[in-house]
């Protein structure tokens, strides 16, 4: 079976020492009568993307005020956690 690469290159792929190129993967799969199919799909990270939309509708001053409020909140709860420890 010939795929246009050396046995040592195949060995490095098999030993996870290198990542093959798409072209190499395609050539290897063709020899096995297989087809390389790549696809992309949205990953459900569990993040409410509508919050991004809300944030992007804010002016820069509103975003800064919101970030400052959250930063102050974090500092307050950190202080409370240290005092409770």
Tell me, what's the pLDDT at 1? 58
The pLDDT tens digits along the chain (85 residues) read 567 888 898 899 999 999 999 999 999 999 999 999 999 998 888 888 888 899 999 999 999 999 999 999 999 999 888 888 7
Tell me, what's the pLDDT at 44? 86
| Two structure tokens written together for 68 | 């400052």
Q: Give CA–CA dist 50/56, Å, rounded.
A: 10
Residues comprising the chain, all counted: 85
Verdict on whether the full-model pTM lies above 0.75: no
Tell me, what's the pLDDT at 40? 95
């Amino acid at each position: 079976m010939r795929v246009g690469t050396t046995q040592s290159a195949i060995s490095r792929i098999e030993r996870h020492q290198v990542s093959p190129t798409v072209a190499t993967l395609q050539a290897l799969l063709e020899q096995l009568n297989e087809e390389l199919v790549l696809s992309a799909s949205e990953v459900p990270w569990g993040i409410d993307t509508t919050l991004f939309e809300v944030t992007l509708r804010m002016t820069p001053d509103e975003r800064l005020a919101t970030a400052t409020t959250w930063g102050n909140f974090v500092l307050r709860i950190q202080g409370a956690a240290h005092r409770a420890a």
